[in-house]
């Protein structure tokens, strides 16, 4: 045979049909079919069935409610380039309910008491509802950002025209608002997610399989663990005493720190967040206000955002009370301001002041707890774990919890916090996981 007589036969590629580009109002729904925004109320059998059962006073099955919510969230979209974009349904309630509640609360003093008391209760109820289901939600992030914008809008519309706020004061308040947004943007970034590919390349596939099998066998007897083998950190039976941390040289260390869900060996103080679904370095807690975890890389920005918010909020409250309740101190005007409900403008401003006071008090408590934890070099997750296992030293009725594991003194603790995410910190005590 001659050289090159055998030519390779080229296989014809099967041509896949090209998808037509979507217009601004079209989208691909959860069933993989092309749909249109205008047809959002068409062909919804679950919703029709739910309405029929509601009209006939019959109970709805939980599965039916979930399917209705899934359908609504899938069809709630806005026109966009190259297809309609999906809108998270959890961001809508604050945009609608907050202005309505505040305007209703400004009609009368008693209405204000009822509404401003019920708002924190409703927020806490929704928090525990989503927290129990381990679901991510944009409700609190939407509530926080919209509250900032709406309070600033009311300040510009109702307080500034009275002539008591100067340009310099307005500029300072505006700068504070922008600094809050910048700090929140930085806090929303990567908190220190662990990359499964680069966490531990020294483990062979057989070792990984062995760790997975042992981790799953171990979780069967632990009520505080989930079926994936990763330990939970927010339930009442998390991380029982039998799973105590081992020294660095212990042969069981890899098994104790192995996360079967992320397929990696966790370093010291790292933890798996069941809401985000990933392990985070030096995880402090999952914060609903930023819809993400607070960890090694964003803890400083989180503290900075809280600090700037407190300063800006107190300054805005002071300016507003000085305008609507003249010749009175801030503390006196907050509780006694005669004639504030005489006109709607001052009543709305006063209601917004009290709403801001409630939010500021809650953020101040979180800020205080964070300062205490940093001073003792302990994370919120470690505090909750120490309280459950009764291993920490409690001070001031449990406000301060010192685990003693990483505490090296006030100055050294703050120095270590100031260098988080910049360089690796190695201490003998931190080799104990």
Contacts of 353 (CB under 8 A, 6+ apart): 317, 320, 321, 334
Residue 161 tokens read as 């025209």
Residues 6 or more apart in contact with residue 111 via CB below 8 angstroms:
104, 105
Give me the mean pLDDT over the 17-35 stretch.
73
Dihedral sign, CA of 366, 281, 267, 222? positive
- pTM of the model as a whole: 0.75
Q: How many CB atoms lie within 10 A of CB 327?
A: 7
Place 71 in a pLDDT band, splitting at 50, 70 and 90: confident
pLDDT of 160 over the 80 cut: yes
User: Cβ(87)–Cβ(77) under 8 Å?
Assistant: yes
pLDDT at residue 30 above 70? yes
pLDDT, tens digit (0-9, with 9 covering 90-100), for 349-398 = 999 999 999 999 999 999 999 999 999 888 888 888 888 877 777 777 76
237: buried, middle or exposed (CB in 10 Å: 19+, 13-18, 0-12)?
exposed
Position 166 scores a pLDDT of: 92
How far apart are alpha carbons 66 and 69 in whole angstroms? 5
Query: Three-state SS across 157-213?
Result: HHHHHHCCCCHHHHHHHHHHHHHHHHHHHHHCCCCCECCHHHHCCCCCHHHHHHHHH
What distance in Å separates the CA atoms of residue 76 and residue 87, rounded to the nearest whole number?
A: 6
What was the pLDDT predicted at 240?
Answer: 36
pLDDT in tens, 287-319: 999 999 999 999 999 999 999 999 999 999 999
**pLDDT tens per residue, range 192-225:** 888 765 444 444 555 545 545 544 444 444 443 3
Catalytic residues: 287
Asked whether the predicted pLDDT for residue 283 surpasses 80, the reply is: yes
Which residues, in sequence order, are bridge partners of residue 26? 36
Place of tokens 């509250």: 147
Whole-number Å distance between alpha carbons of 60 and 52: 10
Of residues 149, 132, 101, 97, the one with CA closest to residue 288: 132
Q: Which residue has the tokens 């603790």?
A: 413
Reference 395, options 95, 133, 404, 183; nearest CA is 404
């Amino acid at each position: 045979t001659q050289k090159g007589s055998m030519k390779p036969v080229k296989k014809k590629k099967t041509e896949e049909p090209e998808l037509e580009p979507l217009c601004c109002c079209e989208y691909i729904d959860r069933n993989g079919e092309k749909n249109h925004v205008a047809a959002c109320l068409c062909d919804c059998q679950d919703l029709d069935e739910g309405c029929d059962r509601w009209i006939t006073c019959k109970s709805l099955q939980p599965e039916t409610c979930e399917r209705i919510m899934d359908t609504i969230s899938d069809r709630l979209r806005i026109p966009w380039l190259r297809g309609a974009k999906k809108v998270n349904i959890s961001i809508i309630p604050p945009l609608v309910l907050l202005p309505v509640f505040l305007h209703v609360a400004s009609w009368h003093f008693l209405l204000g008491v009822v509404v401003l008391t019920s708002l924190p209760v409703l927020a806490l109820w929704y928090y525990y509802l989503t927290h129990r289901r381990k679901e991510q939600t944009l409700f609190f992030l939407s509530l926080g950002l919209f509250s900032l914008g709406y309070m600033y809008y009311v300040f510009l519309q109702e307080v500034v025209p009275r002539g008591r706020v100067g340009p310099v004061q307005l500029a300072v308040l505006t700068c504070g608002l922008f600094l809050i947004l910048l700090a929140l943007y930085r806090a929303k970034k990567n908190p220190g997610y662990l990359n499964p590919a680069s966490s531990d390349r020294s483990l062979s596939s057989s070792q990984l399989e062995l760790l997975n099998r042992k981790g799953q066998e171990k979780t069967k007897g632990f009520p505080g663990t989930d079926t994936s083998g990763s330990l939970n950190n927010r339930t009442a039976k998390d991380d029982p005493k039998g799973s105590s941390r081992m020294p660095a040289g212990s042969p069981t260390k890899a098994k104790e720190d192995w996360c079967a869900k992320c397929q990696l060996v966790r370093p010291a103080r790292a933890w798996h967040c069941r809401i985000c679904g990933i392990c985070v370095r030096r995880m402090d807690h999952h914060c609903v206000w930023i819809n993400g975890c607070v960890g090694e890389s964003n803890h400083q920005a989180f503290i900075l955002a809280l600090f700037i918010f407190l300063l800006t909020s107190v300054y805005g409250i002071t300016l507003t009370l000085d305008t609507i309740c003249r010749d009175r101190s801030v503390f006196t005007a907050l509780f006694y301001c005669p004639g504030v409900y005489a006109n709607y403008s001052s009543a709305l401003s006063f209601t917004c002041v009290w709403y801001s006071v409630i939010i500021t008090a809650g953020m101040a408590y979180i800020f205080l707890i964070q300062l205490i934890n940093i001073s003792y070099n302990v994370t919120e997750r470690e505090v909750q774990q120490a309280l459950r296992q009764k291993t920490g030293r409690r001070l001031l009725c449990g406000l301060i919890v010192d685990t003693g594991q990483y505490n090296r003194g006030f100055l050294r603790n703050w120095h270590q916090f100031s260098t988080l995410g910049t360089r690796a910190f190695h201490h003998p005590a931190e080799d104990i996981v």
